[in-house]
Amino acid sequence: MNKPADRCPGVFRTHPADDGRLARIRLSGGQVEPAALEALALAAEEFGDGHIEITVRANLQVRGIADDRVDAFADRILAAGLATDRAHDRVRNIVVSPLSGRIGGLADVRPAARELEAELHRHQWTRDLSGRFWFGFDDGRGDVTVRDVDVLGAAVSPDEAAIHLGGVPTGRVVPLPELPAAMVAAAASFHEHRADEWRIRELDDRARAAVSDAVAGFGRLAPTEAAASANGGRPDVREPIVGWFEQSDGRVLLGAVTEFGRLSARQAQFAAAIGTPILITPEREILIPDLTEAVAETVVRVLAPLGFIFDSASPWTRFSACTGSPGCGRSHADVRGDLLAHLGAPDAAPGREREHWLGCDRGCGSPNGPHVRRIATGDGYRTDRRVPGG
């Protein structure tokens, strides 16, 4: 069977760009431990361009790595625990409701996500999954259900979750402890029945039916509950998780953004020094949880002058851009420079719509949800509106 090459970058297999090699670090559930973030910051400074970028899958990436430094960079990332083995490097595509277990939601789905990652590493066939294949865990609030996830568990109660495949509910509801095994079974069936497809939604009807059959032995059939898990999560405008939030346990969670969803090594080191896990969201938000009020106040005082933005009204909660020129040879413009000029113009009046600026039609870094695209043409920009799944 001839399968097209999967060029999604990872830690060990990087992407060649005009500004050097790009390495992508996959974070299981968007979480990075303080020591690992510190190590990544030092690696970005030593081997890359000195910055860490947040992706729309809640992962991190480093640009500007020289060809002869890729192996040294990978070794550093491996030692930091941010990658496992070369074969399974790109399998860790797992997105989790960012606030799960801390604020709201029907269930804490993070334990199930951790078990799924362990399960994926127990199998050799998972190394053949595309770097685009995506697993998701929604705690019932609908923030992951709206995303283009291949295999999804969406909580319908504190103890059960509905299984969605390729964005469609299967009608089955399973106990949370069984959810990782059911998701692995679906992925295994996809692996068995795929031809040249990378994603479940690309399969023909026959292959999709086979993947659905793979989860038939798990849980119970509950079409109404399963269908309900697909509703309620498609707002036209998502409120940013930016600012000061009280957790269920009384502690504080801070949410911030940065320009272009980009952290300098220094910013990352200061965030790591707080000593709490950092949560990254697909909206390129940086969440700092589990703080006392006194510590949270200090964190804001220290990080705000460094470029962390804690204001939910900031344009950077809605605006993003691809790399553009000169880092990408495909780009028709210095997209980031143009966006900065746009936001800094005296007559700038950013609305509430999500906007993503692009140097070409490839759409790199585009959000999953509804958004406006500003696409460079070489003679200005044209506008293109996108809807979920578009």
Q: What are the residue ranges spanned by the domains of the chain?
A: 93-234, 243-305, 318-386
**pLDDT more than 90, % of the chain:** 83
b or e along 362-371 (b: 16 or more beta carbons within 10 Å of the residue's beta carbon)? eebbbbbbbb
Chain Cα centroid distance, residue 373: 19
pTM assigned to the model:
0.94
User: Do the first three CATH levels of 93-234 and 243-305 match, i.e. the same topology?
Assistant: no
Predicted confidence band of residue 231 (pLDDT cuts 50, 70, 90): low
Measured distance CA(384)–CA(390) in Å, rounded: 11
User: Could you tell me the fold of the domain covering 318-386?
Assistant: Sulfite Reductase Hemoprotein; domain 1 (3.30.413)
* Helix 70-79, helix 34-47: angle, nearest 10: 170
* The architecture CATH gives domain 243-305: Alpha-Beta Complex (3.90)
Q: What is the pLDDT of residue 16?
A: 94
Number of neighbours of residue 122 by Cβ within 10 angstroms: 9
User: Could you tell me the fold of the domain covering 93-234?
Assistant: Sulfite Reductase Hemoprotein; domain 1 (3.30.413)
Q: What is the pLDDT of residue 125?
A: 93
Mean pLDDT (the chain, rounded): 92
Q: Is the pLDDT of residue 347 over 90?
A: no
Predicted confidence band of residue 131 (pLDDT cuts 50, 70, 90): confident
Q: What is the pLDDT of residue 130?
A: 87
For residues 336-347, average pLDDT: 90
